[in-house]
């Protein structure tokens, strides 16, 4: 058969399928620039993008092999004739595919799903009385990289799973890297690192079917936490609204473990770290979260990157709760070494010590967000660890896990992990060593390299705080003060408002309702009796279980901590999204006025219309950003309905969901009629009708400062 004939399309040549014509560069002498008329990458990417180093991962304009040979063609393998077998000698084919075959690295064993950003930390100097850490001294400014994560799901799991969130910040200080590896809850499931594999095995998908993904609503999780009552306090947080944040920008962060700080005079104190978001702490509603996971599994990741790109930089104040370094390491009767306990802010106020601003998105997810390696043992002078048994285990784990994940001991040479101060560690060789070390004597003492490098005994040396160690015996036992598993779970419950308590009880009913084993449900409901009778009764009723007969009584002398509730106050609205529904019949001025009012306060208007294209004519035309088939209420914090829209199922669903999710809704002109079908009253809380487009939009923006129209929840 003539090789040119196409066997499937008679009469057509074999190459009848149109092929992408690649722009060709004219041949030039080595080192010369090619004709640059063709498409080019907009930003040159390379190692320098992550850390300011000059080393480039991608140089020159020509496509090359890994060895730098210029390639004329990367679309066809080398064959014995156009229809013949592929030749083994095709190095480019083998190199390209072999590299691709090894592109994945193991995901993190926990916290696999994450999103990150670069930024700056500016110290207020207020911490200088308690720590000598350079980055916390007056006017110090430090480059940072922050990675947020869910804990349980794998790398491709949806963002708004009910879960704890990681909040890890790498400070590239002049005294070395300091990592604050925290979570968005102030407490943890377990008191001893020994139990970490147990809680993680229980929370991860079942080992037989590997389901469910990124969820705690399953038997093994509830089996473990119901049997292991030290998890009770953390489980209460996990069932609360805190576990489904509205945005990564709207989460608090906590160091969880207690750290020991030392000031320049050698005085020490025990400290808990806090991050307080400028945007306030806000959550999704459970139904909203479930819909979001389907509609946009990347919801949090997108929100963070969009906000930074739009200039709505998220900010957090770093705060310290400072407690005396007492002999028994307790404060107001609370054991500071027990990571299942928090210190109420009413007892130890949080002092602000600096501001974190995230203002730059990563350029390459893998190089930065995936390869960043945090470690609670990355400390600087002035910050030391305590004997918290959870923290002690963490100090081992984070270094160990990188060996598997990043393939050896040289991960601190990766651009994102490199300290921004001189490093002379005498470590040599090993997998993926990229440095070309000088000298012949990587040992101490030496005379051959002139004694280099020298030990530092001065101001900036990492000298361990000379903390006395109690005389004791070796034993596998926890301190008796670790035995109380319920009083702070009750403290959290009592600190919440009515609607927050309702959400928490509903979460228990949902999660336990998903368990197959009734004994597990019964066991957990019995535990709830030790927290609060009302909570126990509501959950038992929701599950159709008898209220357990138990002698267990909730702790009597617990005082609420109002600071733990997240419903109060008014907060900045920048970066929030407003859905503006319009149609070809809407006067263009209305669209312009609403978009301007929304944009003026840093919020993002998204124009929704029945179909794509543009609304309006000529210069004033506005691009449609969402159509009825690509939008869903969960994407918006509030909805404005412009005039000239016809009733439709898509709009009914949008309005009903926005109403149910307590979102402000405004109408312009005749749009009030759209509220009839979903049964929404014009006088309902958070419904703004009857004014001009600018007026109703401003009312809606004012309402958004409270995050949701909470009054509607009472209806």
d(CA 175, CA 686): 51
Smallest distance from the beta carbon of 144 to ligand HDE, in angstroms? 13
Locate tokens 């030392």: which residue? 262
Q: Is 228 a catalytic residue?
A: no
Query: Is residue 251 at the binding interface for ligand HDE, with CB under 6 A as the rule?
Result: no
The nearer residue to ligand HDE, 410 or 697, going by C-beta atoms, is: 410
Query: Is residue 605 at the binding interface for ligand HDE, with CB under 6 A as the rule?
Result: no
Which one, of 532, 521, 550, lies nearest residue 489 by Cα?
532
Query: Is residue 274 at the binding interface for ligand HDE, with CB under 6 A as the rule?
Result: no
Which one, of 248, 251, 267, 270, lies nearest residue 259 by Cα?
270
Where are the strands (E) in 43-140, listed by range?
114-123
405 marked ligand binding residue: yes
CA–CA distances in Å: residue 587 to residues 323, 613, 688: 61, 16, 19
Q: Quick check: helix, strand or coil at residue 699?
A: helix
**Degrees to nearest 5, angle at CA 483 with 477 and 488:** 140
d(CA 113, CA 156): 7
Q: Which structure tokens are listed for 276?
A: 């307080």
Using CB under 6 A, which of 115, 239, 256, 531 touches ligand HDE?
256
Q: Is 527 a catalytic residue?
A: no
Query: Is residue 259 at the binding interface for ligand HDE, with CB under 6 A as the rule?
Result: no
Positive/negative CA dihedral, 282, 287, 290, 296: negative
Query: Is residue 398 at the binding interface for ligand HDE, with CB under 6 A as the rule?
Result: yes
Smallest distance from the beta carbon of 242 to ligand HDE, in angstroms? 14
d(CA 355, CA 352): 8
- Which range of residues in 219-227, 366-374, 466-474, 511-519 is near ligand HDE by CB under 6 A? 366-374
Output helix, strand, coil percentages for the chain, rounded to the nearest 5.
Answer: 30, 15, 55
Over the window 646 to 685, marking each residue x when it contacts ligand HDE by CB under 6 A and - when it does not, the resulting string is ----------------------------------------
The nearer residue to ligand HDE, 297 or 339, going by C-beta atoms, is: 339
Q: Which structure tokens are listed for 17?
A: 């399928």
Query: Is residue 109 at the binding interface for ligand HDE, with CB under 6 A as the rule?
Result: yes
Interface positions, 300-339, toward ligand HDE (CB under 6 A): 339
398 marked ligand binding residue: yes
d(CA 94, CA 86): 11
Query: Is residue 353 at the binding interface for ligand HDE, with CB under 6 A as the rule?
Result: no
The nearer residue to ligand HDE, 108 or 274, going by C-beta atoms, is: 108
Backbone phi, psi, residue 120, to 5°: -135, 145
Over the window 162 to 181, marking each residue x when it contacts ligand HDE by CB under 6 A and - when it does not, the resulting string is ----x-x------------x
- Angle separating helix axes 588-600 and 693-704, nearest 10 degrees: 30
- Using an 8 Å Cβ cutoff, are 220 and 492 in contact? no
Query: Is residue 535 at the binding interface for ligand HDE, with CB under 6 A as the rule?
Result: no
394 marked ligand binding residue: yes
Residues in contact with 627: Cβ distance below 8 Å, sequence separation at least 6, in sequence order: 608, 609, 610, 611, 612
- Using an 8 Å Cβ cutoff, are 506 and 289 in contact? no
Q: Would you call the peptide bond into 516 cis, given omega within 30 degrees of 0 as the criterion?
A: no
Q: Which of 111, 218, 378, 707 is catalytic?
A: 111
Query: Is residue 110 at the binding interface for ligand HDE, with CB under 6 A as the rule?
Result: yes
The nearer residue to ligand HDE, 196 or 492, going by C-beta atoms, is: 196
Query: Is residue 362 at the binding interface for ligand HDE, with CB under 6 A as the rule?
Result: no
Q: Which structure tokens are listed for 545?
A: 């279980």
Using CB under 6 A, which of 394, 485, 595, 712 touches ligand HDE?
394
Rg (CA), the chain: 29
- Using an 8 Å Cβ cutoff, are 426 and 442 in contact? yes
Q: Cβ-closest residue to ligand HDE?
A: 166
Query: Is residue 188 at the binding interface for ligand HDE, with CB under 6 A as the rule?
Result: yes
- Using an 8 Å Cβ cutoff, are 563 and 348 in contact? no
d(CA 168, CA 184): 10
Backbone phi, psi, residue 371, to 5°: -90, -5
Query: Is residue 196 at the binding interface for ligand HDE, with CB under 6 A as the rule?
Result: yes
Query: Is residue 111 at the binding interface for ligand HDE, with CB under 6 A as the rule?
Result: yes
d(CA 130, CA 356): 20
- Which range of residues in 103-111, 201-209, 526-534, 582-590 is near ligand HDE by CB under 6 A? 103-111
- Which range of residues in 48-56, 393-401, 414-422, 432-440 is near ligand HDE by CB under 6 A? 393-401
Query: Is residue 693 at the binding interface for ligand HDE, with CB under 6 A as the rule?
Result: no
The nearer residue to ligand HDE, 114 or 280, going by C-beta atoms, is: 114
Query: Is residue 415 at the binding interface for ligand HDE, with CB under 6 A as the rule?
Result: no
Query: Is residue 386 at the binding interface for ligand HDE, with CB under 6 A as the rule?
Result: no
Using CB under 6 A, which of 135, 374, 486, 659 touches ligand HDE?
374
The nearer residue to ligand HDE, 145 or 636, going by C-beta atoms, is: 145
Using CB under 6 A, which of 401, 433, 446, 452 touches ligand HDE?
401
Query: Is residue 482 at the binding interface for ligand HDE, with CB under 6 A as the rule?
Result: no
Residues in contact with 320: Cβ distance below 8 Å, sequence separation at least 6, in sequence order: 127, 130, 261, 271, 272, 273, 274, 350, 351, 353
Which one, of 301, 299, 262, 303, lies nearest residue 127 by Cα?
262
147 marked ligand binding residue: yes
The nearer residue to ligand HDE, 488 or 697, going by C-beta atoms, is: 488
Query: Is residue 191 at the binding interface for ligand HDE, with CB under 6 A as the rule?
Result: no
Using CB under 6 A, which of 108, 341, 501, 661 touches ligand HDE?
108
Q: Which of 118, 183, 234, 417 is catalytic?
A: 183
- Residues that bind ligand HDE (rule: CB under 6 A) add up to a total of 27
Using CB under 6 A, which of 113, 118, 147, 300 touches ligand HDE?
147
Which one, of 541, 564, 556, 547, lies nearest residue 493 by Cα?
564
Q: Quick check: helix, strand or coil at residue 461?
A: coil
Interface positions, 560-589, toward ligand HDE (CB under 6 A): none
Binding site residues, ligand HDE, CB under 6 A: 108-111, 114, 147, 149, 166, 168, 181-183, 188, 193, 196, 256-257, 339, 372-374, 390, 393-394, 397-398, 401
Instruction: Give the active site residues.
Output: 111, 183
Residues placed in the known binding site: 108, 147, 196, 394, 398, 405
Residues placed in the known binding site for heme: 108, 147, 196, 394, 398, 405
């Amino acid at each position: 058969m003539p090789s040119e004939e196409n066997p499937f399309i008679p009469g057509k040549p074999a190459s009848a399928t149109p092929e992408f014509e690649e722009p060709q560069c004219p041949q030039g002498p080595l080192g010369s620039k090619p004709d640059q008329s063709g498409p080019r990458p907009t930003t040159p990417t390379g190692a320098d993008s992550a850390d300011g180093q000059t080393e480039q991962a991608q140089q020159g304009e020509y496509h090359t092999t890994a060895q730098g040979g210029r390639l004329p063609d990367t679309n066809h393998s080398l064959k014995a004739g156009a229809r013949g077998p592929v030749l083994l000698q095709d190095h480019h084919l083998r190199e390209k595919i072999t590299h691709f075959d090894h592109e994945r690295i193991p995901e993190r064993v926990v916290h696999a799903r994450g999103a990150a950003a670069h930024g700056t930390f500016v110290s207020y100097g207020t911490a200088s009385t308690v720590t000598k850490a350079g980055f916390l001294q007056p006017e110090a400014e430090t480059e940072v990289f922050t990675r947020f994560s869910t804990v349980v799901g794998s790398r491709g799991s949806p963002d708004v799973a009910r879960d704890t969130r990681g909040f890890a910040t790498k400070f590239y200080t002049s005294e070395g890297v300091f990592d604050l590896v925290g979570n968005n809850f102030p407490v943890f499931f377990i008191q001893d690192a020994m139990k970490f594999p147990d809680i993680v095995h229980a929370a991860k998908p079942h080992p037989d079917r590997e389901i469910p993904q990124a969820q705690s609503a399953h038997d093994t999780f509830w089996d473990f936490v119901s049997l292991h009552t030290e998890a009770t306090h953390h489980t209460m947080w996990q069932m609360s609204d805190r576990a489904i944040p509205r945005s990564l920008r709207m989460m608090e962060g906590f160091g969880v473990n207690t750290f020991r700080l030392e000031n320049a005079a050698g005085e020490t104190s025990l400290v808990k770290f806090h991050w307080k978001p400028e945007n306030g702490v806000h959550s999704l509603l459970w139904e909203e979260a479930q819909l979001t996971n389907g509609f946009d599994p990347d919801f949090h990741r997108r929100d963070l990157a969009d906000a930074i790109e739009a200039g709505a930089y998220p900010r957090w104040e770093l705060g310290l709760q400072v407690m005396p370094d007492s002999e028994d390491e307790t404060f107001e009767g609370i054991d500071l070494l027990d990571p299942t306990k928090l210190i109420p802010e009413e007892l130890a106020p949080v002092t602000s010590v600096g501001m974190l601003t995230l203002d730059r998105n990563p350029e390459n997810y893998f190089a930065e967000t995936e390869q960043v390696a945090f470690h609670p043992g990355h400390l600087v002078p002035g910050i030391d660890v305590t004997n918290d048994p959870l923290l002690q285990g963490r100090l081992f784990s984070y270094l160990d896990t990188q060996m598997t994940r990043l393939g050896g001991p040289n991960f601190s040479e990766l651009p994102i992990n490199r300290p921004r101060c001189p490093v002379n560690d005498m470590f040599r060789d090993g997998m993926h060593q990229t440095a070309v070390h000088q000298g012949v004597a990587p040992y101490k003492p030496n005379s051959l390299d002139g004694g280099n490098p020298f030990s530092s005994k001065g101001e900036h040396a990492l000298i361990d705080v000379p903390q006395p160690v109690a005389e004791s015996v070796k034993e596998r036992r926890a301190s008796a003060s670790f035995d109380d598993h319920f009083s702070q779970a009750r403290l959290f419950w009592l600190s919440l408002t009515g609607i927050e308590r309702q959400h928490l009880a509903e979460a228990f009913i949902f999660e336990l309702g998903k368990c197959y084993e009734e004994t597990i449900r019964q066991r957990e409901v019995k535990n709830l009796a030790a927290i609060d009778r009302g909570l126990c009764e509501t959950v038992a009723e929701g599950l159709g279980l008898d209220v357990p007969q138990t002698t267990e009584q909730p702790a009597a002398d617990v005082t609420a901590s109002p600071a733990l509730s997240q419903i109060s106050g008014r907060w900045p609205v920048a970066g929030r999204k407003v859905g503006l529904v319009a149609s070809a019949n809407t006067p263009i001025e209305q669209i312009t006025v609403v978009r301007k009012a929304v944009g003026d306060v840093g919020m993002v208007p998204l124009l929704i219309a029945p179909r794509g294209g543009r609304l309006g004519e000529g210069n004033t035309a506005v691009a449609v950003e969402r159509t009825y088939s690509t939008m869903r209420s969960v994407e918006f914090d509030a909805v404005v309905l412009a005039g000239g829209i016809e009733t439709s199922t898509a709009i009914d669903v949008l309005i009903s969901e926005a109403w149910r999710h307590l979102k402000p809704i405004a109408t312009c002109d005749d749009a009030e009629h759209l509220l009839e079908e979903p049964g929404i009253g014009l006088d309902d809380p958070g419904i703004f009708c009857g004014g001009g487009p600018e007026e109703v939009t401003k009312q809606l923006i004012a309402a958004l400062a409270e995050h949701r129209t909470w009054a509607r929840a009472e209806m």
